[in-house]
Amino acid sequence: MSKLFQVYGIGQALIPVLPPPIAFENAPTSSQTNYSVGQVVYTPGPTANAFYMYAGAGNWVEFATSSGSITAVNGTSNEITASTTSGVVTLSLPLVTTAPGSLSSTTSLSAGTSLSSGTSITSGTTITATLGNITATNGNFVSSTSGKGIVLNPVVVTAAASPQTANGRSFSVTFSGVSIAAGATQSFIINNTSVNTLALISMVGATAGSALTVESITYVSGTSITIVVTNGAGATTSTANITFTGLCLN
């Protein structure tokens, strides 16, 4: 334990001074409080001594050394911000953060508005856009595994007479009450607000012996798709339900 020394000054009364630095076997702890504020202690090390100054109330402050003790906490432009208030350093991310290298997440990575990368974004499971688009400005959407591709949730209308409404980028509409004689045609109308100038259409359903083909497809932008189906000359009249599936590519 150490308190202030009293020494004689030249031509003056006793002067209180701290004792020389005291050697400790281990670093001081908060329970070692019987020292004067400003007392310096050190722990001898194999290469360099570690020095501590007593600040009162069990608080020992380690001196910075050239071997790497902290002397300041600084931020990095566009990466992390450091601010100090009343001796407390707060680290935070700036409004616009730039990662100097790769950014990896073991669970999920979420963005309130947009997520962009100078090179690539890779996810071990899924990439989800809750609101908005996933855009490839100068690239493709590529599925490299056989049997995998684009999965859509189509609007489905089943067993209905023409016209029918199926608003959506993808749709499946089954028409009932069909009767197309040999050499005759029949029009089917699908009201769809998503259509612009192009939709990929497939047709399924025909009576055995008939020869149904799609004669024409007409689009009214943002309104409807009209599909004209014809039966071959000399073919059997087709009375089976016909299902059209479509994908609007605008």
Name the band, by pLDDT with cuts 50, 70 and 90, for residue 65: low
pLDDT reading at 71 higher than 70: no
**pLDDT single digits (tens) 210-226:** 999 999 999 999 999 99
Strand partners of residue 202:
245
Name the band, by pLDDT with cuts 50, 70 and 90, for residue 143: confident
> What pLDDT does 149 receive?
80
Name the residue with higher pLDDT: 195 or 149.
Answer: 195
**pLDDT single digits (tens) 15-56:** 777 788 888 989 899 999 988 888 898 888 776 788 899 999
What residue spans define the domains of the chain?
1-93, 155-248
> What pLDDT does 228 receive?
97
Range 164-173 average pLDDT:
94
**pLDDT single digits (tens) 74-122:** 888 888 988 888 778 888 988 888 878 777 777 777 777 777 777 777 7
Distance CA 149, CA 162 (A): 31
Q: What is the pTM of this model?
A: 0.55
Distance CA 45, CA 79 (A): 37
